[in-house]
Amino acid sequence: MDIDKNEQMTDEEMIEKGFQELLNDYLGTRHRKRVEIITKAFNFANQAHKGIKRQSGEPYIMHPIAVAKIVCNEIGLGSTSICSALLHDVVEDTDYTIEDIENIFGPKIAQIVNGLTKISGGIFGANASAQAENFKKLLLTMSDDIRVILIKIADRLHNMRTLGSLLPNKQYKIAGETLYIYAPLANRLGLNKIKTELENLSFKYEHPEIYTDIKGKLKATEAHRDEVFKNFTAPIRSQLDKMGLKYEIIARVKSIYSIWNKMQTKNIPFEEIYDLLAVRIIFIPKNEEEELNECFNIYVSISRIYRPHPDRLRDWVSHPKANGYQALHVTLMGTNGQWIEVQIRSDRMNEVAEQGFAAHWKYKEGGGSEDEGELEKWLRTIKEILDDPQPDAIDFLDTIKLNLFASEIFVFTPKGEIKTMPQNSTALDFAFSIHTFLGSHCIGAKVNHKLVPLSHKLESGDQVEILTSRSQRVQPSWENFATTAKAKAKILAILKKEQRTAQKEGEALLLEFFKNEELRPDPSNIEKLCKLHNTANKDEFLTSLGSQKFILGETDRNILVEKAGASWKKYLTFSFGASKDQKEKLEEKQNAEPIDKKKILKLTEDTIQKNYKIAACCKPIPGDDVLGYVDENNEIIIHKRQCPIANKLKSSYGNRIIAADWDTHKTLYFPVLLYVNGIDSVGMLNQITQIISQQLNVNIRKLTIEANDGIFEGKVQLYVHDVEDVKTICENLRKIKNVKEVKRIEE
């Protein structure tokens, strides 16, 4: 009994200490000091969650306290948000209702807590449609009050920081979901530090060995980077001192996730990444009016010391990014022959870059309304997308993601108004961004007064005029070159609407035909007509008929009259009883043993051949980081963890993900594809095959090599046991003189 009491005391001390830290952090901010309401929210939440523990064993209230600290310190919000963070799980996990919260804390806090309750338990529910609904709720609530999404991001950040206490399959689901939605959301809202941490933590749990390896390599090269930084910044410091500026210069090292991403996309080892180090100059302007001028003055001064790269000046000062980010980026050639990026920002710009545009938004307590133009525009776009019914949950997520990830370009209307568009936008995207009518009736565009097709990709600085025709209609091919979320959603909605209209007309024509010919409109008759007109299914048949691509006539009547009696009999049999085979299959499926998703799958020689399928999209082999996905037929598909399809599955069907581990012993063979290139020389092909076939005794399945202007490149398809074999083959091939690159690739 005494032990329990001491343990309870320890918990209480921990809770009290956590809350005091939160209060001290809050008192250190520039917000109005509304300590009383925060204390009231803490006491209420503490009482509501009393006795409940988290998976890690600590009292549950420590989670809301941690989320409130993130909201206060890392996002910079005030008492309303802190109270909402403390109360964010009360309605979902206890008997209290939103009405209770409203009565005690007022309508504003209740509205935010209600928004957070709607999207509780992660964005994604047990199945795809629930997940899409939750995501819609998230974005709709975000449109009402941006603080809902900011607190949700803080909640996810704390969950990621404490992910170690969960089972591996849960870790993959949450990490995948975080990379798919939360990190881009944080990025879009200007929460750069949080975005980076979410990416790194997701990567740490999905690829622990690679994470540790890159971390070790960063540590090993730290001393050299410090030396480069010191030598590079010394002349810059003396120049800024001469200018009489108050400033600080800091080194920014590329994040582990960014390094790995670059290694993947460029297919290069860690040692070949040369932009690990960037330099940040943060200055305090003499006055607000001079802030922009001083950015350019610093740029001019340091360009006299080091040679700037002519194509790599990024002016986010005159044209801030959509998330409010402002800075001047310039790439300079250091004395060691290496390009180094320098970011020039004022202290205000730095605060916006680190804490996010949202912290300076109109909801900031104690402050006036800020210019929230770009953020408002983005939220308005999302609302427009939500107004259209979405046919598929996953399509909806991908549509939104298009705009979450996008970098911006600046284009002009014929009247000279500036428009911010995502990178790779086409003339068609631009038309839809102005108005749906303009988009759906456009026939072409003039870019910088030159006629271009709708698929033309726009670049920063382009002046765009859209040409329209009333007779123009949305074409299905437009989906292929629309890139923005808004354009894709509108095109899809218009095509769906037209398809539904055509189907209705087709159905009316079909029923009239059957009535005139005195035939039954049964499935077998419709199937015959589908085959006759080369349509895949009834819907496609009705759409084509309604669009008048064909007309029902004599041929159709002859096909149906031939075996009308037999068709009717067949229809009766089909309706009233399933065949013996169908029954057996159904029983077999119902009696199948449920799959335990908490288990870690052991991928042995026997189970790979009998129970699991290797995913055709990424073709994992032993040694790759993998996971299992239970498909709708209850079959387990093995994917690489970083496979794009697996990323989508983790986010959309997280409850079907199972942790998996290899346990093979070099008995099974798996196909892999290697890419080789280098300088062409006599006997090169012979040397490559000699090493693979004779020296390493590996079976070559297929080999293609092309030489052009003294450079050769080729693809070799092999059968190997595991990743270790691939590593050995690559190392041996790299030893051949004139071979410059060997890497494993996807087909």
Top-confidence residue, 306 or 547 = 306
Residue given tokens 């290697």 in the structure block: 674
Residues 6+ apart with CB under 8 A from 694: none
CATH code of 670-745, in short, is 3.30.70.260
pLDDT band at 342 (very low <50, low <70, confident <90, very high): very high
Nearest partner of 143 among 362, 376, 356, 314, judged by Cα: 376
328, 344 Cβ separation under 8 angstroms: yes
Q: In Å, how far from its chain's centre is CA 267?
A: 21
Whether the pTM exceeds 0.85: the reply is no
Q: Coil, strand, or helix at residue 571?
A: helix
Task: Supply the angle between the helices 107-118 and 98-105 in degrees, to the nearest 10.
Answer: 150
Q: Report the pLDDT value the prediction gives residue 462, as an integer from 0 to 100.
A: 82
* Fold of the 215-355 domain: Beta Polymerase; domain 2 (3.30.460)
Q: Report the pLDDT value the prediction gives residue 276, as an integer from 0 to 100.
A: 87
622-657 per-residue burial string, b: 16 or more CB within 10 A, e: under 16: bbbbbbbbbeeeeebbbbbbbbeebbbbbbbbbebb
Q: Report the pLDDT value the prediction gives residue 406, as an integer from 0 to 100.
A: 61
Rounded Cα gap, residues 130 and 385, in angstroms: 18
For residue 567, pLDDT beyond 50: no
Q: Of these residues, 7, 12, 13, 92, which one is catalytic? A: 92
For residue 216, pLDDT beyond 90: yes
Rounded Cα gap, residues 71 and 63, in angstroms: 12
Which tens digits make up the pLDDT trace of 126-154? Answer: 444 445 555 656 666 665 677 888 888 89
Strand ranges for 347-407 from DSSP E: none
In sequence order, the β-bridge partners of residue 249 are 281
Cα distance between the two ends of the chain = 65
Residues 312-334 have a mean pLDDT of 84
pLDDT band at 235 (very low <50, low <70, confident <90, very high): very high
Secondary structure (DSSP) of 287-343: SGGGHHHHHHHHHHHHHHHSEEPTT--EETTTS--TT----EEEEEE-TTS-EEEEE
> Alpha carbon of 617 to those of 322, 531, 639, 643: distances in Å?
35, 32, 8, 8
Please indicate whether residue 596 is annotated as part of the active site.
no
Eight-state DSSP code of residue 126? S
23, 46 Cβ separation under 8 angstroms: no
For residue 281, pLDDT beyond 90: yes
Q: Of these residues, 93, 275, 663, 741, which one is catalytic? A: 93
Amino acid at 225: R
Which tens digits make up the pLDDT trace of 589-616? Answer: 444 455 666 677 888 877 777 788 888 8
263, 239 Cβ separation under 8 angstroms: no
Q: Report the pLDDT value the prediction gives residue 602, as an integer from 0 to 100.
A: 82
For residue 188, pLDDT beyond 80: no
- The architecture of the domain spanning 11-191 is Orthogonal Bundle (1.10)
433-459 per-residue burial string, b: 16 or more CB within 10 A, e: under 16: beebeebbbbebbebeeeebebebbbe
Which tens digits make up the pLDDT trace of 571-587? Answer: 333 333 344 454 454 44
35: left (phi over 0), alpha (psi -120 to 50) or beta: alpha
Rounded Cα gap, residues 211 and 203, in angstroms: 7
Q: Report the pLDDT value the prediction gives residue 66, as an integer from 0 to 100.
A: 92
Amino acid at 179: L
Q: Report the pLDDT value the prediction gives residue 484, as an integer from 0 to 100.
A: 82
Nearest partner of 630 among 639, 621, 643, 622, judged by Cα: 639
Which tens digits make up the pLDDT trace of 462-513? Answer: 888 988 888 888 888 888 888 887 888 888 888 888 888 888 888 888 888 8
Nearest partner of 324 among 296, 297, 293, 351, judged by Cα: 351
Eight-state DSSP code of residue 653? S
What H or E segment, with its residue span, contains residue 719?
strand 711-720
Q: Report the pLDDT value the prediction gives residue 576, as an integer from 0 to 100.
A: 34
Instruction: Calculate the average pLDDT of the chain.
Output: 79
pLDDT band at 402 (very low <50, low <70, confident <90, very high): low
Residues 537-550 have a mean pLDDT of 79
Kindly list the domain boundaries of the chain, sorted by start residue: 11-191, 215-355, 494-577, 591-662, 670-745
Which tens digits make up the pLDDT trace of 28-43? Answer: 877 778 889 889 988 9
For residue 379, pLDDT beyond 70: no
Please indicate whether residue 92 is annotated as part of the active site.
yes
Q: Report the pLDDT value the prediction gives residue 360, as an integer from 0 to 100.
A: 54
**How many other C-beta atoms are found inside a 10 Å radius of the C-beta of residue 239?**
15
